[in-house]
Structure 1
Amino acid sequence: MNFKSLGLTVLVLSMLIFPLAALGEGDKGEAETTTAKQYVFYQVVHGGIAHPFWKVVERGAKEAAAQLPDVKVIYTGPDVYNYEDFMAIVDSAIAAKPDGLIVTITSPQGMDETLRRAIGQLNIPVIAINAKDSRPEDERIPYISYIGESSYDVGVALAKESLKRNRPKRAVFGHHAPGSIPIEERAAGFSDTLKAAGIPVDVLDIGPDPVEGASILLDYLKANPTTDLVYPASTPHIEAFIPLAEGEGFVAGKDIMIPSIDISPKILEYIVNGKVMFTLDQQQYLQGYVSVHLMYLHVKYGHTPPPLLPTGPGVITKDEVAELKR
């Protein structure tokens, strides 16, 4: 997906959201004489809620809620990625019996029973964001819509965009969230694509801590000196890895080629100075923002959202960085 098609997605979303949301304006006079219902939506994410990526999702959700005076959004998740903690928070959210649940499906099979009970027995509508249930439609969790990326396709795009720029001798994919199905799908897309091109690749568990992960990757490079394509994982991991590797004599952009997923000011700086080849943007702000609006339209007006709204990936190179800064 390029930025033109991403722009089309945003246009379609605005056509869905704003005309229908305007219906609520006509209710204001009546609302003044009656007690308005307050809709409560929980948005539960699996990543650490203080992580820069998830702070953008939170901003999207809260800015959407600010536009809807009869909506309260409770944005929550574990401090760092931990599946057991995440599921405990999902269970607590369901126990609160909200009007809607927006959630990342980080483990479809593990979350299946819990979410089916919420949907089927408690009549809580569910929208998935960021991570979906990739099983066939007749087997997957029956949420009403998914807003986000295809994790496997992102891994494929990561590999293909890398191959356009350089044919590596060996590659490694840093896996920062072991047990997270979307990250495993992303790793599979990356590995399958490179292996099909005859390039050996390893998927390396490096954990959620960026500094520890960078050290594990550096040890891997020293043990596998032909490795010249490195995906160090999330943006904080990349930001920790590059200075550590360069301190050991590796030159980012020359000795090792580094692709990225997601955006941060530092990643954009690295793209401009050639240390990072490109990044893939999944527009996580839209995942937080649009899901709140679509849930609101569903519970208040009975609107059924599209089953799938892709938000990425868009490829950002040095040329696009200049455009983004305008």
Structure 2
Amino acid sequence: MGFRKAAATAGLLAMAALGQAVPASAQDIIFLAGPSSDPFWSAVQAGFDTAVKELGVDAQYSAPPDFNDIVPNYTRLFEAAIGRKPGAIVVGNFFPDPTNPLIQQAVSEGIAIIVYNSGRDTHRELGAVTFIGEDSYLMGKRGGERAAAAGVKNGICVNQIAANPVLEQRCQGYIDGVSEGGGTAKMVTLPSEDIGNDQKVTSSIAALLQADGSIDGVMTLGAAPGVNAVAAAKQFPDRKIFIGTLDLSTPALEAIKAGDLAFTMDQQPFLQGYYGVLFAHQFLEYGVAPAEPVTTGPLVIDQSNVDKVLEVGKTHPGVRGAS
């Protein structure tokens, strides 16, 4: 449904006061996301859906069907969104090379941009209104510190999407956390097209463990690769390998409860979906937005609190990114 005319007019005046041109259809919000087949993105969509329902806004959710050709497909979705001349676009700056100029183009055309998930460090210089999401380096650093405390001396951080600098920041955090604890660590990169193929990811991680028998720590950057890492480590029953991951899924949470996975770092994607719609709506209506980035993670989940998270997943499916 559309906004009330008076409220929409107030939002347009607020945008003009902030020095932004006003688009013709300023009541619309387009939210660009990742494939909802991934439990992380299903939680983002749950947040989006809840915000749309509670706020009664006119918003559309747009996402590619899978991770194949993710960079060009996501870029085309963004280009199409700009072409529709909405009032606001909520976008993750996952791939800066193609996305940065599109953000600047949208801003120049009077479209309010809310950046979420990726792009924390550059959103202001590109002209975005605000940012919602994790502190990427800290997400990895907390994992590295936990690994070091557990005695990890040779860790690997498995990056599944090489084109996303946020994932490199996570891995750098992990490397620094392990190094500060007296160990060493490095980043290894898997082909992004393999994500979603459990057999390929498991085999790739197992090959890394086979090639270097001194690896005693693994951190992955997504819930599914985390479960794959557990499966890979079980192929080496005589080795003690400390495994952590980021983001949530029911299998990952159950692996934590069973003691196979040490922890996950939750960036609370439901909040990213919800706040993305909320902040776009409030900016268009009232010209207000958070003055500083809104940080939704890391929230550590381990055996001390995993039961509570699993219970929320049963009561409110999808909200915690668990499926």
- Place the TM-score, normalised by the shorter chain, in its bin: 0.7 to 0.9
What runs of 5+ residues in structure 1 fail to find an aligned partner?
1-22, 28-36
Alignment partner, residue 169 of structure 2: 185
Alignment partner, residue 173 of structure 1: 157
Shift of 1:179: 1.0
Report if aligned partners of 1:148, 1:287 keep a CA contact under 8 Å in 2. Answer: yes
In terms of mean alpha carbon deviation, does 224-233 or 103-112 score higher?
103-112
Report if aligned partners of 2:266, 2:298 keep a CA contact under 8 Å in 1. Answer: yes
The 1:73/1:232 distance shift into structure 2, 3 A limit, reads same
Shift of 1:199: 1.9
Q: TM-score, normalised to structure 2's length?
A: 0.81
Q: Distance in 2 between matches of 1:180 and 1:187?
A: 12
Alignment partner, residue 14 of structure 1: none
Q: Distance in 2 between matches of 1:175 and 1:128?
A: 22
Identity of aligned residues (%): 23
What are the Cα deviations for residues 279-298 of structure 1, in whole angstroms up to 9, with x where unaligned?
Answer: 11111000001110111111
The 1:75/1:66 distance shift into structure 2, 3 A limit, reads farther
Tell me if 1:148 matches 2:112: no
Q: Distance in 2 between matches of 1:240 and 1:315?
A: 20
What are the Cα deviations for residues 173-218 of structure 1, in whole angstroms up to 9, with x where unaligned?
Answer: 1110111111111111112332343422221112332431221111
Report if aligned partners of 1:125, 1:143 keep a CA contact under 8 Å in 2. Answer: yes
Q: Indicate which of 50, 55, 66 corresponds to 1:79.
A: 66
Tell me if 1:160 matches 2:141: no
In terms of mean alpha carbon deviation, does 107-116 or 83-92 score higher?
107-116
SS at match of 1:311: strand
Q: Distance in 2 between matches of 1:173 and 1:190?
A: 7
Return the letter of the residue paired with 1:159. G
What are the Cα deviations for residues 20-39 of structure 1, in whole angstroms up to 9, with x where unaligned?
Answer: xxx97x97xxxxxxxxx883
Tell me if 1:284 matches 2:274: no
Tell me if 1:320 matches 2:305: yes
List aligned pairs for 1:85-104, cutoff 5 A.
85-104=73-92
Return the letter of the residue paired with 1:68. L
Shift of 1:109: 4.5
4+ residue stretches of structure 1 with deviation over 4 A? none
Alignment partner, residue 108 of structure 1: 96
Shift of 1:130: 0.7
Return the letter of the residue paired with 1:292. V
Tell me if 1:263 matches 2:248: yes
Alignment partner, residue 19 of structure 2: none
Q: Distance in 2 between matches of 1:132 and 1:107?
A: 9
What are the Cα deviations for residues 203-260 of structure 1, in whole angstroms up to 9, with x where unaligned?
Answer: 11123324312211111111100101011331111223323432x2336xx6111012
Measured on the aligned residues, the alpha-carbon RMSD in Å equals 2.3
Report if aligned partners of 2:283, 2:289 keep a CA contact under 8 Å in 1. Answer: yes
Higher strand share: 2
Tell me if 1:231 matches 2:216: no
Shift of 1:79: 1.8
SS at match of 1:91: helix
Report if aligned partners of 2:226, 2:244 keep a CA contact under 8 Å in 1. Answer: no
Q: Distance in 1 between matches of 2:300 and 2:37?
A: 25
Alignment partner, residue 32 of structure 2: 44
SS at match of 1:220: helix
Shift of 1:69: 2.6
Return the letter of the residue paired with 2:187. V
Return the letter of the residue paired with 2:44. V
Tell me if 1:53 matches 2:37: no
Q: Distance in 1 between matches of 2:35 and 2:60?
A: 18
Q: Distance in 1 between matches of 2:29 and 2:123?
A: 27
SS at match of 2:158: strand
List aligned pairs for 1:197-276, cutoff 5 A.
197-208=181-192, 209=195, 210-246=198-234, 248-250=235-237, 255-276=240-261
What runs of 5+ residues in structure 2 fail to find an aligned partner?
8-24, 313-323
Report if aligned partners of 2:202, 2:232 keep a CA contact under 8 Å in 1. Answer: yes
Q: Indicate which of 65, 68, 71 corresponds to 2:52.
A: 65
Alignment partner, residue 105 of structure 2: 117
Shift of 1:111: 2.0
